[in-house]
Amino acid sequence: MIPENILSILIFLPLAGAGIVLLLPNRETATIKGWALLTTLLTLAANIWAWTHFEGKTDFEFQKTYLWIEAFNIYYRIGVDGVSFLLISLTNFIMPIAVLCSWREIQTRVKEYMFVMLVLHTGMVGTFAALDGFLFYVFWEVMLIPMYFLIGVWGSGRKIMAAFKFILYTMAGSLLMLVGILYIYFKAGQSFNLLQWLQTPFSFAEQFWLFLAFALAFAIKVPIFPLHTWLPDAHTEAPTAGSVILAGILLKMGTYGFYRFAMPLFPDAVFYFTPHILTLAVIGIVYGSLVAMVQKDIKRLVAYSSVAHLGFVMLGLFVLNSRGVEGAVLQMLNHGLSTGALFLLVGMIYERRHSRLIADYGGIAKIVPMYSFFFLFVTLSSVGLPGLNNFVGEFLVLLGAFEFDWFWAAVAVVGVVLSVCYMLWMVERVFFGPVKQEENRGLKDLGWREAAILVPMCALMLLIGVYPKPLLDKMHASTDAFLKLATRQAEQTMAYDER
């Protein structure tokens, strides 16, 4: 028997852990780290328990509704479908890994760091679970502030500029979304209930402007070209855990926002903007790949690869067919695993060599064979090798794109080819050939802690690549319901005009 409030437990258990971390003495860094790790592992265990009881139905599951602020008709309303629960599961899988990879890297303000990490954990899970517009916005903002501090306080190099750029972009988008949320609140009879919003008719003009307000906020978070310029700096200057969380979870907030709000609420605007979004998506795929190809810094290369990978997700969502949408959702998960693992691996070699420049390496496969194996495995996953996770998502997206229009699929295929080129070229320069730098001869291979982080991630990549059916089964009813809402063009407008 599963507790009725299991979803609330998943949301607030990390926040409770953050409260306990605050009570611990600053000097007890080992205890603080251990408590943060225990909190994230308990949340993951609760998530696995909930997963075994999740049925993947059309309706939202684990729903709970409590009156929160009566004067404004604001409710604590939460629930999950196959897509949101998949992303919550990804979040709860990534967070213990993020804590573990911080074990040696973070040596200053450890207490504050772990507090920020756990608050961020609550914000991310809450964002995916919220079914109330106001609650969604609260969790969205709760998520942004800790990430700002992760980059600005514990980052490196030009960390202040990177953090400022991150918060400037995301807050600008958030304010636009807030205006849209307030407009719908009054339009829907002073209600923030998402389910009631879906029944509210909007004129085409209203849909046009509201879609823009929401879409800009989410497009910045994805990020879609040309709103991506904050991402490479944020990734480059963030600590390893910050990059893992940013790539693994936070970028999915943008694509999830399109899935949960912008597309189901404004179907006529979706129909109007689809060619424009598809154009930006395929430009992002090709542009991200081309820019990644000329990067000298491994971390920036992986950051630009994210622009290309998330372009695939947007392409899958906006071809508006079952294969494309299921591929897009699966690709959200796959990108979180593969790119998150790549940032982990870059962080591990940076701890040893204190350089991310490709030119500072060469021939290290002979010196760190275990590290080289994991890096090559994750790279092959990232480029979509058959049998590994990214292949399934990209294949479904391309099938959906061909079903929609062969042109979009053809351009996306160019991006796939380019990703193979820049990733394998980077691997060849870093790992193979003669040892170019004498400093590299003393590099130590992976320790048990690092291997323990990477093994479950790689195992999951292999499992999804070989047998994705359980995930597709869990999301199928949800993606079908999403498509019915996002493709009901003209129905709402006609209902509005008849009034």
Residue type, 343: F
Let me know if residue 442 belongs to a domain.
Answer: yes
pLDDT of residue 496: 46
Looking at the domain assignment, is residue 162 inside a domain? yes
Task: Kindly state whether residue 1 falls inside one of the protein's structural domains.
Answer: no
Cα dihedral 183, 187, 76, 488 sign: negative
- Write out the two tokens for 342: 């790549």
The total number of structural domains that make up the chain: 1
232 occurs within a structural domain:
yes
Q: What is the pLDDT of residue 46?
A: 94
* Cα distance between residue 79 and residue 286, in whole Å: 37
Question: Phi/psi at 191 (nearest 5 deg)?
Answer: -135, 140
Query: CA–CA separation, 225 vs 403, rounded Å?
Result: 24
DSSP string for 357-400 = BGGG--SGGGT-HHHHHHHHHHHHHHTT-TTSHHHHHHHHHHHH
Q: Which tokens go with 123? A: 């914000």
Q: What are the average pLDDT values for consecutive 10-residue runs of the chain, which has 499 residues? A: 84 93 88 92 94 85 88 90 93 93 82 92 94 93 89 84 88 91 91 89 91 93 86 85 89 92 92 93 92 90 90 92 92 92 91 86 88 93 90 92 91 90 91 83 86 92 93 90 80 47
- pLDDT for position 495: 47
In this prediction the pTM is 0.91
Q: Is residue 276 part of a domain?
A: yes
Provide the residue range defining the domain that includes 371. Answer: 6-498
Residue-level pLDDT at 490: 46
Q: Is residue 17 part of a domain?
A: yes
Any domain includes 131:
yes
Using the CB atoms, write b or e for 257-275: b if 16+ within 10 Å: bbbbbbbbbbbbbbbebbe
**pLDDT given at position 56:** 80
pLDDT of residue 61: 87
Residues 6+ apart with CB under 8 A from 61: 54, 55, 79, 80, 81, 85
Read off the amino acid at residue 36. A
Q: Cα separation of 494 and 75, whole Å?
A: 30
In a domain, 383, yes or no: yes
Omega cis (within 30) before 25: no
A 10 A CB-CB count for 395 gives 16
Provide the token pair at 469.
């059916």
| Rounded Cα gap, residues 46 and 74, in angstroms | 28
Longest dimension (CA), the chain: 77
Q: Cβ neighbours of residue 390 under 8 Å, at least 6 residues apart?
A: 331, 334, 335, 338, 381, 382, 383, 384, 461, 465
